[in-house]
Amino acid sequence: MGRSPFPRSLGELTFPEVSRKLKESSILCLPIGAIEQHGAHLPLNTDVVVAEELTRALIARWGDQFDLWQLPTLSISLSLEHDWAPGTLSLSVQTFAALLKEMGREIVRALPARNLAIVNGHGGNRGILENLLRELRSDLALNACVIHPFDLAGATSGAAVRDVHGGARETSVMLALAPDLVRRDLIAGAEQPPVPDSVAALIFDRGVTWPWRTDDPRLARTGIIGDPREASAERGRAMVDSMIEAARDVFARLLENQSFMGKAAR
Ligand SMILES: [Zn+2]
């Protein structure tokens, strides 16, 4: 018994191996998860599992071609919209931003690689990550991008209720990646959000941003926005496969961006 090695995990290298194996053109992959409620049928660490397992799958598929390396997972991020639920752990915006900036500084200090692909398992981190990318570039000359797995997979639910949290997409991917963590017997009882129009108005309106929460009775009754009853392992597998294929172009683009780093005005 013992854990099996993952040769492209930074943490499993020895210090002399770092300078021998990593280069300026290597791409570091940073999984970011969250510890937050995902309804009664999915565990608190759903976003950690998704970010980490997808990162490993990406590295297994493209690691040799693009020289990918897995960084240790950041498991706690911005989950204030779920803080009503026992077990949800969240950082403040300031701390999360400072943590990522510090990570960037440490990467530049400790590693030869100058490319960073963040694999973001939690949608609530999107806004801040978009802005942090520019700071990582302008302040640290770190060439970075953020992969949003569910959007990269191009999966639309086609359901009456938009799939936001703990619904068909997330449940499907968990059924594919970590089936033993899904409480299947609790899926059938999942409820639709009370007012579907509220999801459109409070979450998806591009004209206005609202501080929506999953304990808002207009959005959710049991912490879920979406319909996990539509989930299946096959669908999850298809989403994972489509994400892995789409990521090829992301890594190619990231390397292309690196070749323009010195040329574009920062
Ligand atoms: Zn999630």
Find the 180 Cα to ligand 1 centroid distance in Å.
17
**Which of the two residues, 20 and 192, has the higher pLDDT score?**
20
Q: How high is the pLDDT of residue 154?
A: 72
Structural contact between residues 117 and 54, judged by C-beta atoms closer than 8 angstroms = no
Taking residues 79-101, what's their average pLDDT? 98
Q: How high is the pLDDT of residue 159?
A: 57
Find the 265 Cα to ligand 1 centroid distance in Å.
36
Q: How high is the pLDDT of residue 195?
A: 80
Find the 14 Cα to ligand 1 centroid distance in Å.
33
Find the 48 Cα to ligand 1 centroid distance in Å.
8
Report every protein residue that has its C-beta within 5 angstroms of ion ligand 1: 46-47
E-strand ranges in 130-220 read: 143-147
Find the 41 Cα to ligand 1 centroid distance in Å.
12
Find how far residue 72's CA is from the centre of its chain.
13
Taking the C-alpha atoms of residue 16 and residue 116, their distance in angstroms, rounded to an integer, is 21
Summarize pLDDT for 123-179 with one digit per residue, the tens.
999 999 999 999 999 999 999 999 999 999 875 545 556 789 999 999 999 999 999
pTM comes to 0.94
Of 19-23, 154-158, 197-201, 238-242, the least confident:
154-158
Find the 102 Cα to ligand 1 centroid distance in Å.
25
Angular region, 164: left φ>0, alpha ψ -120 to 50, beta rest = alpha
Q: How high is the pLDDT of residue 2?
A: 83
Taking the C-alpha atoms of residue 77 and residue 145, their distance in angstroms, rounded to an integer, is 17
**Which of the two residues, 157 and 73, has the higher pLDDT score?**
73
Angular region, 119: left φ>0, alpha ψ -120 to 50, beta rest = beta
Q: How high is the pLDDT of residue 1?
A: 66
Summarize pLDDT for 45-68 with one digit per residue, the tens.
999 999 999 999 999 999 999 999
Find the 170 Cα to ligand 1 centroid distance in Å.
7
Find the 46 Cα to ligand 1 centroid distance in Å.
6
Q: What is the mean pLDDT of the chain?
A: 93
Question: From edge to edge, which strands make up the β-sheet containing 143-147?
Answer: 68-70, 27-32, 115-120, 143-147
Percent of the chain with pLDDT over 70: 94
**Position 261 pLDDT exceeds 90:** no
Find the 213 Cα to ligand 1 centroid distance in Å.
14
In 3D space, the residue among 157, 159, 72 whose CA is nearest the CA of residue 118 turns out to be 72
